[in-house]
A and B are shown apart, each in its own frame.
Chain A
């Protein structure tokens, strides 16, 4: 039998791959198999990874985990469903992390060393994060001031919040 790829040398490497029940056979010469090796290894890795990922995600059924994800769980920004995510192993958009937040913890615990970031923080987003945290703080103080009838303090806080909000709009 001749090699399927170069049609020149004898095929000495015979591979059979079964992915999702679909069978594919390869008959290659040694040279083409080496050259193709990377590709096959990569395809196998991708397959293994997705398989692994869906395996991990299905672990959720174990006791202690929250109930099975509803079939309708879907990212309201990009439209990707949680079901699709478990199949492709890739998110559709940055917002997916928030949309699927309730399911991510067990996954991240297994593939990463922890579930919170301790590395670099981008300068610009970092400022936004700081401003957002500051605003939340001020709003809490404002509620407290109103509840305890400290109206002068409440007015001052209200102005400060307004100023910050305007800044973040610009």
Chain B
């Protein structure tokens, strides 16, 4: 299979479609935790309990209310290969926890991969919606509609006072985790990132690097999400997160502007050097790949590099990870072999764009 055919099939919507503020916001995600009444949480589940939850979900998926929300594929984790489960983790469609719940876990995935329902992860149900760009409200509307449709078919564990009951007390109440994946190279290069991040963590939000922490975060990619789930409504949680994200966007934009004004040559050199390495290197580990991709993406956003699609960061950030590489090359690869194949895949992907030019 050619790379462009493989990409057609392997790439989720959040990795290719654009969205509001998509020069900085890679994706928006809403995840809500729900549990069924009168059944133990997955931590104490027997095989019988797990099957019961799975049957309820399958029944609900067949209902007309759910059918209105799109076409879903359903599979138990034990019926998927380990490699396929990890590919889904790398695409951010399921959690690592679910991939490891081989016996009891299951997954319903909408065909366009915008929405997934994780079954028997930490909670009975985790409804997840992931969209490109800053679209928390839209993502919440969709997750909320799925929640309503499922609830018609199966009664949830809900307490008058505490709200939706979850396995972990950090999720009780709304059960919602709203998060935004941000690319913040300007703040990292200019050295303001740690100050920004500590400010953000003081307003009830959590920030973590997607791969590593703080200024060490490879690829300069950060995930910002709400910490509290009880005592605030879903709308308040989303509005609070959105307003902080807008402030971060403003700071990132002005950091980028300043870099261009004051250090243009240095910046151009950094960006083009990284492009050259990605285009010609023969082996590269995942950390360096992410770092170079981040530089190139910054170059695209600032107009220094032309003719390369902006989605290359999201695409290659996912595709150069271990499971995805092994899926593409159709064989098991040792870490050393992966470094070789990773560089080859990146070169091939860059050529796809430059051929068009």
Interface residues of A (CB under 8 A from B): 5-6, 8-9, 29-32, 34-35, 37-39, 41-42, 49, 53, 78-80, 88-94, 97-98, 104, 107-108, 111-125, 129
Return the CB mask of B26-47 against A: 1 if under 8 Å, else 0.
Answer: 0000000001011111011000
Which 7 pairs show the lowest CB-CB distances between chains A and B?
A117-B163, A114-B231, A94-B157, A112-B230, A6-B335, A113-B231, A119-B174
B165 x A94 contact (CB < 8 A):
yes
B212 x A37 contact (CB < 8 A):
yes
A30 x B285 contact (CB < 8 A):
yes
Residues in B with CB closer than 8 Å to A121 are 158
Interface residues of B (CB under 8 A from A): 35, 37-41, 43-44, 96, 122, 144, 147-148, 151-152, 155-170, 172-174, 176, 204, 211-213, 218, 228-234, 285-287, 322, 334-336, 339
A112 x B285 contact (CB < 8 A):
no
| Bound CA span A92–B160, Å | 19
B173 x A112 contact (CB < 8 A):
yes
CB contact under 8 A between A113 and B204, given known A91-B167, A104-B169, A119-B163: yes
Residues in B with CB closer than 8 Å to A80 are 44
Residues in A with CB closer than 8 Å to B335 are 5-6, 8-9, 29, 31-32, 35
Nearest residue (CB) in A for B158 is A125
CB contact under 8 A between A31 and B287, given known A80-B44, A92-B41: yes
User: How many cross-chain pairs have Cβ atoms below 8 Å apart between A and B?
Assistant: 148
Min distance, Cβ B152 to any Cβ of chain A, angstroms: 7
| Bound CA span A125–B213, Å | 41
| Bound CA span A104–B230, Å | 13
B151 x A38 contact (CB < 8 A):
no
Residues in B with CB closer than 8 Å to A116 are 161-162, 230-231
CB contact under 8 A between A119 and B169, given known A6-B334, A31-B285: no
| Bound CA span A44–B213, Å | 13
CB contact under 8 A between A122 and B158, given known A94-B165, A112-B230: yes
Residues in B with CB closer than 8 Å to A111 are 169-170
A108 x B230 contact (CB < 8 A):
yes
B173 x A42 contact (CB < 8 A):
no
A/B interface sample: 19 pairs, CB < 8 A = A8-B334, A30-B287, A31-B339, A34-B218, A38-B96, A90-B167, A92-B40, A92-B43, A92-B44, A93-B39, A94-B35, A104-B169, A107-B169, A112-B170, A113-B204, A113-B232, A120-B147, A122-B158, A125-B151
Nearest residue (CB) in A for B228 is A113
B211 x A37 contact (CB < 8 A):
yes
Partner of A97 from B44, B151, B165, B232 at Cβ < 8 Å: B165
| Bound CA span A92–B46, Å | 12
| Bound CA span A123–B336, Å | 54
| Bound CA span A134–B322, Å | 57
Residues in B with CB closer than 8 Å to A98 are 159
B155 x A119 contact (CB < 8 A):
no
Residues in A with CB closer than 8 Å to B334 are 6, 8
